[in-house]
Chain A
Amino acid sequence: MSERLEALYTQLCEGTLDSAGREELLSLLRDKNNRAALVDIAVYEAVVADELKLAEARGEAEAIRDKSGQLPAVRATRRVSAVKLAPARSGRVRSVAAQKSSSLGWALAAMVLLSLGAMAYLKVTQSQRVDVAVLEKLEGGATVLRGREVLSATAGMALASGDQLQVKGAALSVAYADGTRLALGTGARLALNGSSSAKVLRLSSGKLDANVTPQTSPLRLLTPHSEVTVLGTEFTLEIEKQGTRLEVNVGRVKLADVTTKAEVEVPAGKFAVAGTGKLEALPLEVKLAKLLDDFEAEKLSNWTIFALNKSKIRQKRVTPGKASAGALRVDYEVPLAEGGGGTYYNLRGRSQDWSSYSGVSFWFYGNGTGNDMAFEIMENQLPGRNEDTAERFVYEFKDNFTGWRQITARWGAFKRRNWQPGKVPNDGFTLKQVNGFDFIAGTGSGWFMADQIGLIKD
Chain B
Amino acid sequence: MDQAREQLIKDFQKNRLRMVAYIRTLTGDSDTAEDVFQELTLVVLQKISEFRLDGDFPAWCRGIARNLARREKSKSRRLVAIEDPELLSVVDKAFDEAAQRELLDTRRTQMRQCMEKLAPNNHELLNQRYVLNLSLKQLAARLNRSEGSVQVALSRIRKTITECVERNHAAEALE
- A: residues with CB less than 8 A from B are 3, 6-7, 9-10, 12-15, 17, 22, 25-26, 29-30, 32, 35-36, 38-53, 55-56, 105-106, 108-109, 112-113, 115-116, 119, 121-122, 143, 145, 148, 150, 152, 164, 166, 189, 204-205, 222, 224, 258-261, 369-370
Contacts and interface: CB of A to CB of B under 8 A. Distances in A.
B75 A370 contact: yes
Contact of A260 (B35, B78, B141): B141
Contact of A115 (B1, B16, B84, B101): B1
Given A50-B20, A51-B108, 5 more contacts: A6-B155, A26-B87, A38-B94, A45-B30, A105-B42
B94 A204 contact: no
15 contacts: A12-B80, A13-B24, A26-B86, A39-B21, A41-B158, A44-B104, A46-B17, A48-B111, A51-B108, A56-B131, A105-B42, A109-B45, A121-B6, A148-B13, A222-B132
A166 B35 contact: yes
B135 interface: yes
Nearest to B41: A150
B38 A166 contact: yes
Contact of A6 (B22, B48, B158): B158
Interface in B127-159: 127-128, 130-138, 141-142, 151-152, 155, 158
Contacts of B87: 12, 22, 25-26
The interface residues of chain B, by DSSP majority, are classed as: helix
Interface residues of B, number: 72
Contacts of B169: none
Contact of A143 (B38, B45, B112): B38
A10 to B, nearest CB: 6
Of A32, A46, A152, most B-chain CB atoms within 10 Å: A46
Interface string B61-103: 0000000000000011111110010110011011101100101
The interface residues of chain A, by DSSP majority, are classed as: helix
B142 A259 contact: yes
Contacts of A44: 104, 158, 161-162
B164 interface: no
Contacts of A222: 132
A55 B111 CA distance: 12
Contacts of B84: 22
A59 B104 CA distance: 23
A52 B133 contact: no
A13 B38 contact: no
A47 B105 contact: yes
Of A15, A39, A40, most B-chain CB atoms within 10 Å: A39
B141 A45 contact: no
